[in-house]
């Protein structure tokens, strides 16, 4: 018998919590199917607050894809904030879906989106709140299948103890095949044998079932290997890649409350070829796949009609690279003159300024650019070879066109960085500030955000060391002292937070014990600075017998087996090694959209990887 939450139960706790609309459901365009008449029930879970999860691009894509299938219902759930969690536990209410209010434990499949390593304790907390054992080994055949996708699954090992199967790559490719296998298993007679289901799933390219692999270590703690224990499991899991972007979602769920990205969104292209050596997204979303202009223009109209949004974001890792982006903006502006358009990611050049000026209903409140490093030498080393002259010309163009603010992103702790490189950040910002002070009218505001370099899997810097807290603090102090100027605001992240993220992103399967212990100690919402308790994490690592420095303060050898070596992201190890060596030499690698193929490995899989553009 179902334990569906009734209205009176929900009302009895909602008055106790902030922003109760996070938990009510019933939003415009949400889909509610007949529970009893729909045989396959799928819960899509984002392990963070509603406002963040509802701004995620993957969620509406999968929600639409799943609900288009007549025999599947897909519903959503998000991590309840601490006041709601407390009220639910006190009332004995298990975590439920927004659409039908059924407990998550009644679904067939629960799919987590793992886009940030500091949500891992939220995953455990949500499973526990759903009254589902957190360890996969402790779940029996009556429990839902627990799967996970997202960029974090490119190193799935830290969460391998908790997830039954990982979806590696584009979900649009894999999920239909996963559902077909699940249907066959569910209707094949003996429903109880989940082990049989897992072995069926392991045959599907792009699905990693960690319970079917054995992990071995050397005596010094380094990984020896991850090997299959059954014939169905492949020694290497290759990321699945869609050749052509599926139709965009034009009828997304419209939240009742303001969310982080409170506007419509159309993905205009997927992938990036700039090849920034620190950027994981640039590696794991290759190759570039471009949506036709005509499809975008029609989709924008349908999206506005179905949602009522008056702003639409043209989403891409580098929107200015879209072939004919200026023509696309002009056509959209003519066809939808009352619609505001936004381009969330632009390259540093005057063309980007001109492009922003052409956007309809643009109030010129601010521009965001990411030089990342202060010196030209280091920018070449990270493969972001932008000259200081070009940076200053771009800033001057922005100020001349009366943009009122400029936000600049920099990174410290990059491989090969010296204190002189950090001092160059101060000099560059001061030069930008002087340009702004000479602008007629209101003096523009300059905001500077400093992040800490984290060596991520499947990037050329995956073998690199993360800089120590002491060294990073010295660099932050240099920046603080150098940027005490009127009109410049600086913010940065605690190096300890970046260290924790690095441990989680670079860790092996042994980290599962630390994640579990941290959750037991009360850790949750670790990506929120007001919630992160580093002392509890220190204790968790100690209790689990783990030295975090083993994962952050150790240079990896090129021949070392990495925790993610059995995951093939498509970009070859040979290419990543070559790029790392070029970074040490301060050599940039040209963009393969305009130059010759860089032989990153995808050309062997995809053939022609990119659409050539003039240059």
**To 10 degrees, what angle do helices 58-67 and 171-186 make?**
40
Where along the chain do the CATH 3.30.750.200 domains lie? 363-510+546-553
The rounded distance, in Å, linking the Cα atoms of 380 and 584 is 10
Interval 210-237: pLDDT, tens: 999 999 999 999 999 999 999 999 999 9
Go through 398-428 and write b for each residue having 16 or more CB atoms within 10 A of its CB, e for each that does not: bbeeebbbbebebbbbbbebeeebbbbbbeb
Interval 58-68: pLDDT, tens: 999 999 999 99
> What confidence score (pLDDT) does residue 1 get?
40
Interval 60-91: pLDDT, tens: 999 999 999 999 999 999 999 999 999 999 99
The tokens for 568 are 């093939």
Q: What is the CB neighbour count within 10 angstroms for residue 257?
A: 14
Does residue 495 sit in helix, strand or coil? helix
Q: Which of 449, 448, 491, 451 lies closest to 467 in space, CA to CA?
A: 451
The conformation of residue 6, written as its DSSP 8-state character, comes to P
Interval 520-533: pLDDT, tens: 999 999 999 899 99
* H or E element that contains 539: helix 534-543
Confidence band of 615 (pLDDT split at 50, 70, 90): very low
* H or E element that contains 490: strand 488-492
The rounded distance, in Å, linking the Cα atoms of 529 and 580 is 32
Confidence band of 402 (pLDDT split at 50, 70, 90): confident
> What confidence score (pLDDT) does residue 353 get?
72
> The domain 363-510+546-553: what is its CATH number?
3.30.750.200
Task: Look at the block and give the residue holding tokens 């700039």.
Answer: 274
pTM for this entry: 0.94
List of residues 6+ apart from 542 with CB closer than 8 A: none
Structure-derived torsion over alpha carbons of residues 535, 536, 539, 543, reported in degrees to the nearest 10? -170
Asked if pLDDT for residue 167 goes beyond 90, the answer is yes
Where along the chain do the CATH 3.40.50.280 domains lie? 7-238
Interval 413-445: pLDDT, tens: 999 999 999 999 999 999 998 888 776 666 778
The rounded distance, in Å, linking the Cα atoms of 371 and 198 is 45
The conformation of residue 234, written as its DSSP 8-state character, comes to -
Mean pLDDT (the chain, rounded): 91
Q: Please give the average per-residue pLDDT across 181-202, as a whole number.
A: 85
The rounded distance, in Å, linking the Cα atoms of 78 and 94 is 13
Least confident of 145-149, 297-301, 494-498: 494-498
Least confident of 250-264, 519-533, 587-601: 587-601
CB distance 298 to 328 below 8 Å:
no
> What confidence score (pLDDT) does residue 569 get?
94
DSSP 65-104: HHHTSTTEEEEEEEPPPHHHHHHHHHHTPPPB-TTT--BG
Asked if pLDDT for residue 344 goes beyond 90, the answer is no
Phi, psi of 65 (to 5 degrees): -60, -45
**Residue ranges in 285-404 assigned as alpha helix (H):** 293-307, 325-335, 350-358, 376-381, 388-400
Superfamily assignment of 7-238 in CATH?
A: Cobalamin-binding domain (3.40.50.280)
DSSP 407-456: EEEEEES-TT--HHHHHHHHHHHHHHHHHHHTSSSSPPEEEEEEEE----
């Amino acid at each position: 018998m179902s334990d569906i939450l009734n209205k009176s139960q929900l009302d009895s706790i909602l008055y106790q919590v902030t922003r109760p609309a996070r938990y009510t459901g019933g939003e415009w365009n949400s889909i509610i199917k007949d529970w009893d008449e729909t045989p396959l029930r799928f819960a899509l879970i984002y392990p963070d607050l509603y406002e963040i999860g509802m701004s995620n691009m993957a969620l509406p894509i999968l929600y639409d894809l799943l609900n288009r299938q007549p025999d599947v219902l897909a519903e959503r759930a998000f991590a309840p904030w601490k006041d709601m969690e407390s009220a639910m536990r006190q009332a004995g209410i298990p975590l439920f879906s927004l659409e039908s209010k059924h407990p998550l434990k009644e679904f067939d499949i629960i799919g987590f989106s793992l886009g940030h390593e500091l949500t891992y304790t939220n995953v455990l907390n949500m499973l526990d709140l759903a009254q589902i054992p957190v360890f996969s080994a402790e779940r029996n055949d009556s429990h839902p299948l627990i799967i996970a996708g997202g960029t974090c699954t490119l190193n799935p090992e830290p969460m391998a103890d908790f997830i039954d199967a990982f979806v590696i790559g584009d979900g649009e490719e894999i999920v239909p095949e996963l559902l077909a296998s699940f249907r066959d298993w569910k209707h094949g007679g003996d429903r109880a044998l989940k082990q049989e289901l897992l072995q069926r799933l392991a045959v599907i390219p792009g699905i990693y079932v960690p319970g079917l692999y054995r992990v071995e270590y050397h005596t010094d703690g380094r990984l020896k290997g991850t090997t299959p224990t059954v014939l169905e499991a492949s020694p290497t899991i290759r990321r699945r890649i869609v050749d052509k972007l599926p139709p965009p979602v034009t009828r997304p769920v419209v939240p009742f409350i303001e969310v982080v990205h409170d506007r419509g969104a159309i993905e205009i292209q997927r992938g990036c070829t700039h090849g920034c050596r620190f950027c994981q997204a640039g590696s794991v979303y290759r190759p570039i796949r471009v949506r036709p202009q005509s499809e975008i223009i029609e989709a924008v109209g349908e999206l506005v009609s179905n949602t009522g949004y008056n702003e639409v974001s043209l989403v891409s890792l580098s929107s200015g690279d879209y072939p004919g982006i200026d023509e696309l903006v002009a056509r959209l502006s003519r066809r939808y003159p009352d619609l505001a358009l936004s381009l969330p990611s632009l390259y540093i050049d005057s063309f980007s300024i001109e492009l922003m000026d052409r956007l309809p209903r643009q109030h010129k409140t601010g521009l965001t650019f990411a030089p990342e490093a202060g010196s030209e030498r280091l920018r070449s080393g990270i493969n972001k070879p932008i000259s200081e002259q070009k940076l200053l010309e771009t800033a001057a163009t922005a100020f001349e066109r009366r943009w009122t603010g400029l936000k600049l992103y920099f990174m410290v702790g990059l491989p090969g960085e010296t204190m002189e490189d950090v001092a160059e950040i101060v000099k560059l910002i001061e030069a930008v500030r002087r340009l702004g002070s000479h602008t007629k009218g209101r003096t523009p505001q300059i905001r500077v955000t400093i992040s800490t370099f984290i060596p991520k899997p499947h990037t050329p810097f995956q073998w690199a060391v993360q800089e120590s807290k002491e060294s990073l603090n010295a660099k932050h102090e240099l920046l603080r002292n150098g940027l005490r100027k009127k009109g410049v605001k600086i913010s940065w992240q605690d190096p300890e937070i970046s260290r924790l993220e690095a441990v989680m992103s670079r860790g092996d399967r042994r980290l599962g014990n630390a994640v579990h212990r941290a959750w037991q100690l009360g850790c949750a919402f670790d990506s929120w600075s007001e919630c992160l308790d580093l002392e509890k994490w220190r204790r968790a690592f100690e209790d689990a017998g783990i030295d975090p420095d083993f994962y952050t303060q150790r240079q990896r050898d090129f021949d070392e087996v990495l925790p993610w070596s059995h995951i093939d992201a498509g970009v070859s190890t040979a290419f990543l090694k070559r790029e790392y060596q070029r970074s040490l030499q301060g050599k940039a690698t040209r963009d393969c959209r305009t130059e010759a193929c860089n032989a990153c490995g995808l050309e062997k899989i995809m053939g022609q990887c990119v659409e050539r553009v003039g240059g």
